[in-house]
Amino acid sequence: MSLIAKSLKKLQSNRTKSTNYFLGEVRFSYFGELPVYIVIGLLALIFLGIYFVDLFKIVNAQTDKDFFSKVYKIEREIKVEELSVHKEMNKKPQTLEYLLESDDLEKMEQIAKKEKNIKYLGIYYVKTSKPEKGAGFLKLYLKNHKDKQAEVYLALAYLKEKRYLDALNELDKIKSERYEVFLDKAVVLEKLGLVKNAIRNYKIAYDKSKDPVVKGMIRAKITILRFVR
């Protein structure tokens, strides 16, 4: 073999070694086990998924059970309490004030007419959108009685008739620290356009009220009036 042929053969041999050095030998046996591992991994993921789904269902079912158990318990306690209150109420006499508080106005009117009780007749007419007639009965009653409740309903009658100054005069006669009186004054003052005084009475009503819903409504009203002023 010539020197040139030997040199070419050696060069070719060196190239092959160099390629094997960088790339390494490719053996298909290395890849033969890879699909097996993939299948095992997928099966493991599937079983884990099924396990966690079942676990979620069990936990969710238990949570629902606990929740409905608590709801049932609360409902049962409410029913027991309502039954107790109902029994106590049935023990009380069916007075006119009781009928007013329970909003049984028809029965209140019947008894008031039978007893010729002009105070509760007046209240009945004020509450049933007959303020003028109600005001007549209440004014007649207040000629001989000093009664804060009757004065409040007379002021309400005037308010419904849009007799705002008369309503304000009646409210000014009432010496009470109840928030409702200051709230009524605020409404009347607002109707009269006396916004500054209305806000002052709304603030007093807000401070005296313990009802969070009422306090929220009053706060909103004050905010609106401050923009108007």
Could you tell me the CA-to-CA distances from 229 to 164, 202, 204 in Å, in that order? 20, 14, 18
First to last CA, the chain: 116
Which residues, in sequence order, are CB contacts of 139 under 8 Å at separation 6+?
154
Domain ranges of the chain: 65-94, 103-175, 177-229
- The region, left, alpha or beta by phi > 0 then psi within -120 to 50, assigned to residue 4 is alpha
pTM: 0.56
Q: Burial letters for 14-49: b for 16+ Cβ neighbours within 10 Å, e otherwise?
A: eeeeeeeeeeeeeeeeeeeeeeeeeeeeeeeeeeee
pLDDT tens-place values along the chain, 229 residues long: 444 444 445 545 554 444 444 444 444 444 455 566 676 777 777 766 676 656 555 655 555 455 455 555 555 555 555 556 555 555 556 788 998 888 899 999 999 999 999 999 999 999 998 999 999 999 999 999 989 899 999 999 999 999 999 999 999 888 888 888 899 899 999 999 999 999 999 999 999 999 898 899 999 989 988 886 6
